[in-house]
Amino acid sequence: MTVLGAADVEAAGPVLRLETGTRLTPLALERANELGVRIEWIGGAPAPPKLAQMRPVPGNRWSPPTPPATRAAADLGDPPARSPGTLLYRRGAPLAPELVPPRAATPVRSAVIAAPHASVTASLCGCGGHGADGSPRRAAVVGAGHVGATAALRLAEADVFDEVVLLDVVEGLASGLALDLWHSAALGGFATRLTGGTDYSAAAGAEYVVVAAGRPRQPGMSRTDLTAANATIVREVASGLRAHAPDAVVVVITNPLDEMTHLMWQETGFPPSRVLGMAGVLDTTRFCSLAAAAAGVRPDAVSALALGSHGEEMVVPLSQARIGYQAIERRLDRATLDALVTRTRDSGAEVVRLLEKGSAYFAPSAAAARMVLAMATGRDEVLPCCVLADGSYGISGVYVGLPTMLGPHGVAGIVELDLTPAELAELQRAAASIAERIQQLAGV
Ligand code: TXD
Nearest-CA residue for atom 4 of ligand 1: 253
**What is the distance between the alpha carbons of residues 233 and 422, in angstroms, rounded to a whole number?**
37
Asked about 310 being catalytic, the answer comes back as yes
From the CA of 236, give the closest atom in ligand 1.
41
The pLDDT tens digits for 208-228 are: 999 999 998 888 888 888 999
Q: Compare 204 and 15 and report the one with higher pLDDT.
A: 204
Model confidence at 48: pLDDT above 80 = no
Q: Compare 32 and 373 and report the one with higher pLDDT.
A: 373
Find out whether the beta carbon of 279 lies less than 6 Å from any atom of ligand 1: yes
Q: What is the pLDDT, as a whole number, of residue 232?
A: 95
**What is the distance between the alpha carbons of residues 412 and 389, in angstroms, rounded to a whole number?**
13
DSSP string over 324-338: TTEEHHHHS-HHHHH
Q: Compare 256 and 101 and report the one with higher pLDDT.
A: 256
CA 259 to centroid of ligand 1, rounded, Å: 15
Question: Is the torsion defined by CA of 244, 226, 401, 324 positive or negative?
Answer: positive
From the CA of 240, give the closest atom in ligand 1.
39
The pLDDT tens digits for 63-90 are: 333 333 333 322 222 233 333 333 443 3
Please name which of 306, 391, 389, 390 lies closest in space to residue 341, comparing C-alpha atoms. 306
Q: Compare 160 and 39 and report the one with higher pLDDT.
A: 160
Residues in a beta bridge with 52 = 417
Q: What is the pLDDT, as a whole number, of residue 222?
A: 83
DSSP H helical ranges for 183-275: 185-188, 227-244, 257-268
CA 212 to centroid of ligand 1, rounded, Å: 4
Nearest-CA residue for atom 29 of ligand 1: 145
Q: Residue 439 burial (CB < 10 Å; 0-12/13-18/19+)?
A: exposed
The pLDDT tens digits for 231-263 are: 999 999 999 999 999 999 999 999 999 999 999
**At 348, is the secondary structure helix, strand, or coil?**
helix
Nearest-CA residue for atom 6 of ligand 1: 364
CA 437 to centroid of ligand 1, rounded, Å: 20
Q: What is the pLDDT, as a whole number, of residue 227?
A: 93
Model confidence at 379: pLDDT above 90 = no
Q: Which of the listed ranges 4-13, 18-27, 65-74, 248-257 does the model predict with the highest average pLDDT?
A: 248-257
- pLDDT tier for residue 5 given thresholds of 50, 70 and 90: low
Cα–Cα distance list, 4 to 26, 78, 260 (Å) = 10, 18, 47
**What is the distance between the alpha carbons of residues 218 and 347, in angstroms, rounded to a whole number?**
14
**What is the distance between the alpha carbons of residues 160 and 144, in angstroms, rounded to a whole number?**
20
Please name which of 316, 302, 301, 252 lies closest in space to residue 279, comparing C-alpha atoms. 252
Q: Compare 2 and 387 and report the one with higher pLDDT.
A: 387
Q: What is the pLDDT, as a whole number, of residue 398?
A: 97
Q: What is the pLDDT, as a whole number, of residue 120?
A: 24
Q: What is the pLDDT, as a whole number, of residue 217?
A: 86
Global pTM? Answer: 0.77
Q: What is the pLDDT, as a whole number, of residue 271?
A: 98
Find out whether the beta carbon of 169 lies less than 6 Å from any atom of ligand 1: yes
Query: Distance from first CA to last CA of the chain, Å, rounded?
Result: 57
Find out whether the beta carbon of 176 lies less than 6 Å from any atom of ligand 1: no
Q: What is the pLDDT, as a whole number, of residue 274?
A: 98
The pLDDT tens digits for 396-425 are: 999 999 999 999 999 999 999 999 999 999
Give the CB-side neighbour count of residue 211, counting CA atoms within 13 A: 33
From the CA of 167, give the closest atom in ligand 1.
38
Find out whether the beta carbon of 358 lies less than 6 Å from any atom of ligand 1: yes
- Are 372 and 155 within 8 A, CB to CB? yes
The pLDDT tens digits for 114-172 are: 222 222 222 233 444 556 677 899 999 999 999 999 999 999 999 999 999 999 999 99
Nearest-CA residue for atom 10 of ligand 1: 254
Q: Compare 409 and 49 and report the one with higher pLDDT.
A: 409
Query: What is the average pLDDT across 421-443?
Result: 94
Q: What is the pLDDT, as a whole number, of residue 16?
A: 81
Model confidence at 334: pLDDT above 60 = yes
Q: What is the pLDDT, as a whole number, of residue 93?
A: 36
Q: What is the pLDDT, as a whole number, of residue 124?
A: 33
Cα–Cα distance list, 324 to 46, 86, 181, 303, 328 (Å) = 25, 11, 37, 8, 9
The pLDDT tens digits for 169-196 are: 999 999 999 999 999 999 999 999 999 9
- Are 401 and 408 within 8 A, CB to CB? no
DSSP string over 368-418: HHHHHHHHHTT---EEEEEEEEESGGG-EEEEEEEEEEEETTEEEEEEEE-
Nearest-CA residue for atom 36 of ligand 1: 213
Query: What is the average pLDDT across 384-406?
Result: 98
Model confidence at 8: pLDDT above 90 = no
- Are 355 and 364 within 8 A, CB to CB? no
Question: Is the torsion defined by CA of 299, 305, 311, 315 positive or negative?
Answer: negative
Q: Are strands 38-42 and 70-71 parallel, antiparallel or unpaired?
A: antiparallel
The active-site residue out of 130, 146, 262, 310 is: 310
From the CA of 253, give the closest atom in ligand 1.
3
**What is the distance between the alpha carbons of residues 386 and 382, in angstroms, rounded to a whole number?**
12
Find out whether the beta carbon of 253 lies less than 6 Å from any atom of ligand 1: yes
Residues in a beta bridge with 138 = 163
Nearest-CA residue for atom 20 of ligand 1: 146
**Ligand 1 pocket: which of 153, 169, 264, 344 to mutate (most atoms within 8 A of CB):** 169
The pLDDT tens digits for 339-378 are: 999 999 999 999 999 999 999 999 999 999 999 999 999 9
Find out whether the beta carbon of 144 lies less than 6 Å from any atom of ligand 1: yes
Model confidence at 314: pLDDT above 70 = yes
- pLDDT tier for residue 32 given thresholds of 50, 70 and 90: confident
Question: Which range among 18-32, 92-106, 207-221, 230-244 shows the weakest confidence by mean pLDDT?
Answer: 92-106
**What is the distance between the alpha carbons of residues 118 and 132, in angstroms, rounded to a whole number?**
12
**What is the distance between the alpha carbons of residues 419 and 415, in angstroms, rounded to a whole number?**
11
